[in-house]
Structure 1
Amino acid sequence: MGKYLFDILNENEEFKIKVLTRRHKGVKFSEFIDRVSYLPKAFFIPYYNYLRKLKDLNEFDYIILNGVPSTIIGSWCLPRSLWEKCIVYIHGTELENYQRQSLFSKNTLYKNYFPLIKASGKIVFCSKFLMDKFKENGVVGDFVTISNFIDKNTFYKIDDYPRKNILLSVGRITKTKGYDLMLDDFKELINKGYDYKWWIIGEGPYKKSLEFKIKNLKLSKHVLLLGKKPIEQLNRYYSQAKLFWLYSESESFGLSYLEANMCGIPFIAKKIPGLEEIRNNEVNSYYRENYGSFSDFIDFLESEDEKQQKELEIITFARQFSKQKFEEKWLDLLSK
């Protein structure tokens, strides 16, 4: 979402912007973007050296800190007198990352992290669930929610692709995404003679283990690991699938679930709080816990009437999470 925010501000003549980021292939130097070297164990040092040389930091009306590393960098490299100009943009696992740190890291690297959040002008969350989680953990500050969005020009149903008996999963392949439970469910489905395929798009640290388990369960001809795909190609896969599924242990918003909805398919997931904001019960989504077996759910899904009308309802619901609303809320925040 940080990239989209940059695009929005860059296209608006009312704003003069400067972006500071680490040097990598995906980011090119321009008059708006400065890049610094990346040092994994001391990532803030190049930023500190860069910011120390700037003479005009006070001229900025706002300093947007996008994610954990940027906020840590700001907490160490920006003068405290500028903290009130900061807008901290929080996306997802910030609290979990902090809680996993050693006591030494909490007392050093993260020492000024929460003081900066408390002193900053605004803290922007991608979901109400995430904001409430910070409040429940005793974090205070001037909080506001600006929901993530799905771009309707990128994610849409391609009518030339007919629906098939395909279950689709998209995202980083990690153990916490629930692949072991999904394999159990899919095995039950195949053992009962259902003619379904499972497409998995993504890469991640759990991929090799997943490949081994697929082979061990003799599911190789039914499960296709497609690797990572460009974002502009994903709707080709969403448009052919009948269902999106992931049994994630936690989500801060659930972008991939909404991507599927924008292409007209529902999702099934575990009952977790982070998905509540994007659910319209049994219109665009289902909870696995509500069905005795996965085959029971598939039977229910296949028995539903007026599938084309249901598809339109799913798309209509997903479109409320629009780029226009995201843009309007950010521009309103930055115009005050």
Structure 2
Amino acid sequence: MKKRVLMVSVEMPPQVGGAGIVGYRTAQTISEFGFDVTVLTEARNAQFLEGDSSLKASVIGVKTTKLLRPYQLWAAIRKWWDQYDLVVLNDGVAKRFGAYCLNSTQLAKCVVYLHGQEGPDILGNPSLKLRIGGYRKRFVQLMNRCQEVVAVSHYMRSEILDFDCCASLESKISVVYSGFDSNMFCPTESSLRSRLGIPNEADVLISVSRIVERKGYGRMLRLFGELCEMGESYHWVVVGDGAYLKTLKEGVQALGITSKVHFVGSYPQEDLASLLSGADVFWLLTEFQESLGNVYFEANACGLPTIGPPNGGVVEAIEHGVSGYLVACDSDCLSVLRNRSWRQIQPWSAPFRAHLGRFSVRDNLLNARFMKRLMRGKD
């Protein structure tokens, strides 16, 4: 009989979010290794996943309400719990499910994933709701009692270990890059330029993310406006949606550069390669302390050099001078763009390939400690 793995993640595609993408890719890859995978998620996401032929997993959908989600997940899976050999607690709700519903014995077969906000939002300055529920203490207990804790970057691991309450977890927290799907992100034929009416001689910048201010869009607009004033022949393609989109569009209009900035809306993951492949360079000057920044190496996988800030996990996602450029200030960014320094990046050179190879989701999972334990005695 195949060993069975349960992926618990309320956040899953088509819902937008980094944790959901990691959960999806992890479940997909573990199933490709020959394990029997079940995904426990929100009912609305389950409907999408059940129609996804590339995900070879069973799906259990649970209709949940915000405050009761952990308990509703437990009610849905409790009687089948003992059937699973490994349980992955992926997103925030899954971790609360583990912290509030599972005992030490049940947690012993759980792997807890850390995605980026656990440090500041739980251990550092938890909200009033989390403080009332005593979640900080329960979260630390969760990490101590589970089989293994997985951080999606070395930056994320270091951030957690900096808290005194987590110092004893050094040997328990491993790093497993969430990686990218090489079948999905690769150079692809693109009609981006012709569809948007971008001249062949123009250089195309592209950004892909949620459109929120702290992703750096205000700063990027200001810098792009300066490039246009200098007569630089750049066009900028913005992919995504979010709360800052209206403000960003108004800013573009105010600068009189609507012919050079192209808003194309949100696209599903499987269609992003055709957009990325039609551009020349990817840039995202995020102000967040990103846990990693998958979008940078997804762009690399499509043959694009990348530009980002030397913050958080972005310093792992971009290898300066090899896969792109880390720019600490406006003048550095303008210099890279005006001098076309990004043209010095050689996609598919040996160093570029070596950098990209670090983020293979398949290789990272094969080398993960929890997967090696699971594979021992695999039927």
TM-score relative to the length of structure 2: 0.79
Match of 2:84 in 1: 60
Match of 1:132 in 2: 158
- When residues 294 and 321 of structure 1 are mapped into structure 2, their CA distance, relative to the original with a 3 A threshold, is closer
Compute the displacement of 1:278 (Å).
Answer: 2.5
1:300 is aligned to 2:339: yes
**Secondary structure at the residue paired with 1:157?**
coil
> Structure 2 counterpart of 1:260, which letter?
A
Compute the displacement of 1:134 (Å).
Answer: 0.5
**Secondary structure at the residue paired with 1:112?**
helix
**Secondary structure at the residue paired with 1:73?**
helix
Work out whether residues 174 and 206 of structure 1, in 8 Å CA contact, stay in contact via their aligned partners in 2: yes
Greater Cα offset, 281-290 or 86-95: 281-290
- When residues 71 and 277 of structure 1 are mapped into structure 2, their CA distance, relative to the original with a 3 A threshold, is same
- When residues 46 and 191 of structure 1 are mapped into structure 2, their CA distance, relative to the original with a 3 A threshold, is same
1:145-294 equivalences under 5 Å are 145-158=175-188, 164-249=202-287, 250-289=289-328, 292=331, 294=333
Work out whether residues 201 and 229 of structure 1, in 8 Å CA contact, stay in contact via their aligned partners in 2: yes
Work out whether residues 51 and 77 of structure 1, in 8 Å CA contact, stay in contact via their aligned partners in 2: no
1:4 is aligned to 2:44: no
1:18 is aligned to 2:38: yes
Work out whether residues 150 and 319 of structure 1, in 8 Å CA contact, stay in contact via their aligned partners in 2: no
Compute the displacement of 1:147 (Å).
Answer: 1.0
Greater Cα offset, 97-106 or 227-236: 97-106
Compute the displacement of 1:26 (Å).
Answer: 2.0
- When residues 270 and 303 of structure 1 are mapped into structure 2, their CA distance, relative to the original with a 3 A threshold, is closer
- When residues 185 and 45 of structure 1 are mapped into structure 2, their CA distance, relative to the original with a 3 A threshold, is same
Cα RMSD after superposing both structures: 2.6
Structure-2 separation of matches of 1:318 and 1:163 = 29
> Structure 1 counterpart of 2:50, which letter?
K
Compute the displacement of 1:293 (Å).
Answer: 5.9
1:161-196: CA deviations, max 9, x gaps?
Answer: 789511100011111111111111101000011121
1:92 is aligned to 2:130: no
Compute the displacement of 1:47 (Å).
Answer: 1.7
> Structure 2 counterpart of 1:27, which letter?
L
Match of 1:48 in 2: 74
Percentage identity across paired residues of the two chains: 25
> Structure 1 counterpart of 2:154, which letter?
K
- When residues 180 and 57 of structure 1 are mapped into structure 2, their CA distance, relative to the original with a 3 A threshold, is same
Work out whether residues 188 and 294 of structure 1, in 8 Å CA contact, stay in contact via their aligned partners in 2: no
1:209-252: CA deviations, max 9, x gaps?
Answer: 21121112222111111101122221222222121111112211
1:82 is aligned to 2:106: yes
**Secondary structure at the residue paired with 2:49?**
coil
Structure-1 separation of matches of 2:244 and 2:330 = 27
Compute the displacement of 1:333 (Å).
Answer: 4.2
> Structure 2 counterpart of 1:39, which letter?
T
1:103 is aligned to 2:143: no
- When residues 69 and 193 of structure 1 are mapped into structure 2, their CA distance, relative to the original with a 3 A threshold, is same
- When residues 44 and 290 of structure 1 are mapped into structure 2, their CA distance, relative to the original with a 3 A threshold, is closer
Structure-1 separation of matches of 2:184 and 2:73 = 34
- When residues 333 and 133 of structure 1 are mapped into structure 2, their CA distance, relative to the original with a 3 A threshold, is farther
**Secondary structure at the residue paired with 1:326?**
helix
1:334 is aligned to 2:374: yes
- When residues 333 and 241 of structure 1 are mapped into structure 2, their CA distance, relative to the original with a 3 A threshold, is farther
- When residues 106 and 147 of structure 1 are mapped into structure 2, their CA distance, relative to the original with a 3 A threshold, is same
Flag structure 1 segments of 5+ consecutive residues without an equivalent: none
Match of 2:16 in 1: none
